[in-house]
Chain A
Amino acid sequence: MGLEETRRLQLSKHADLKTRAEGDILVLPERAMRIGGSGGEILRLVIEGGSVGSILETMRDRYPDSADLESEVGVYLEEMLENGALVQLDVDEEPRSAS
C-alpha cells in the first residue's frame, strides 16, 4: 500500500457522503456515485478521524477473515484520493470539523 499508516485523511470539503435506503452515495463536484461493498463504512471511519493505520485496524477487527483486506482498503483510499473525495492532512493539521 502506498499510503503510510500514520497519514491522516479527511473527506474533502467539496464532497458529501449521503446515506439512502438503497445504500451510500458519494457526491462530488461533477457527479454522484453509489458506493458498493464496505466503501461507505471506510469513508465514515475517515470522517470520524484517525490515521490510515487506525482505519485498517478497525476494519481488521470487523472483518478478521478477509484475506486481502489491507490491500483492498489501501487501494480504495487511494482511489478516493485520486477522485478528490478525500484529502491528506499535513502531519500537524487538525481535521476540519464537520459542518
Chain B
Amino acid sequence: MNDMVLSIEPQIPALRRYARALVGNSASADDLVQDCLEKAVSRWHQRRDGDPRPWLFAILHNLAISQFRRQAARGPHVAIDAASEHDVRQDAVQESQMIYLDVLEKLSKLPEELRSVLLLVAVEDLSYAEAASVLGIPIGTVMSRLSRARERLQRELDGTSAAKAPVHLRSVK
C-alpha cells in the first residue's frame, strides 16, 4: 500500500500536466486524472514490475481517448476546442508570458495523435519505447508522428505554413 503511494503520488503533477495539455480544459483534465488514479489504485496489483510512469500514462491516455470519442459522438466539437483554448490561455496569462500563450495555442491546433506523442516525449520525458507502449502503437509510428508534430508546430511557430518544405532525412522504422 505504502509502496503504491510512493510510486504513484510523485507522478500526479505530470499526469495533470499531460491531461491539461491534451484536453485543454483544466476541470475535465483533473476529472481524467482522478479517474486515472482511482483505476491505478484498484489495478495496482495488475501492473508489471518496473517504472510505473508508462503504466499510469497509459491509463490516463486511454481515459482521455475514450472521452474524446464520447465527445465526438455527442457532436459539437467546437465547444471543446473553445473551452480548451480559453483554459490554456488563462494558465498562460497567469505566467504573463505571451510566448507561452502562443506555443500552447499552436499546440492545441495539432491533431490529438500528434499532440500526445509530442507531449509524452518532449515534455514528459518518456522514452520512445515507453511512448509507444502508452499509445499502443509501434515505435516507428511514434517516430513518424513525432516528426510530423514537430514539423507542423514549427511551421505554425514560424508563421510559414505552406512555405518551403523542410529538408528531410529518411526515417528509420
Real complex partners, A and B?
A: no
